[in-house]
Amino acid sequence: MTAALAFDTLQYSKRLQQAGVAAPVADAQAEALAQVLTTGMDALATRADLEKVTLATRADLEKVTLATRADLERVTQTTRADLERVSLAARTDLERVETSLKGDIHALENRLISTEGQLRSEFRSELRLLEQRMTIKLGSMLVVAVGVMAVLDKLL
């Protein structure tokens, strides 16, 4: 936008002439200064220009903010869904491991019960054998003792 600048070239030229500058030089200087001021003013931003840029910047910033919020919400939802999926998979895996461990524990309990039964049976068998050997030894000792008593009875 071009800003209007009030510059009276005629009055400026007259002042220069009153100061002793020749009329053609004073007129040329007045025209040159007017051209510089007009060209310089075209390059300056006006308040309206600044307001327009400010509004456009605010609109762009609002668009970026909305897009960022939407992206953040989308990432948040995706992350939540991923976490839920991972959590569900972990729960499923844990349940499978728990079921497997319970089966293993049950199998070990059964093996322990079976082993305990076998050990009890073997222990009873060993006790019976030990009892038989002790009976035989005690019987042998009794026979020897009766024989010694008979020999002693004959001798005495």
- Residue 37: partners with Cβ closer than 8 Å, 6 or more residues away: 5, 7
**Percent share of the chain, pLDDT over 70:** 94
Query: What is the model's pLDDT at position 1?
Result: 45
Query: What is the model's pLDDT at position 113?
Result: 94
Q: How far apart are the C-alpha atoms of 153 and 70, rounded to whole Å?
A: 120
Task: Label residue 38 by pLDDT band (50, 70, 90).
Answer: confident
Average pLDDT on 82-107 reads: 96
Q: How many CA atoms lie within 13 A of 156 on its CB side?
A: 6
pLDDT higher than 50, residue 7: yes
pLDDT higher than 80, residue 39: no
pLDDT higher than 80, residue 6: no
Query: pTM (2 decimals)?
Result: 0.44
pLDDT in tens, 66-91: 999 999 999 999 999 999 999 999 99
pLDDT higher than 60, residue 54: yes
Query: What is the model's pLDDT at position 40?
Result: 62
SS3 of residue 128 by DSSP:
helix
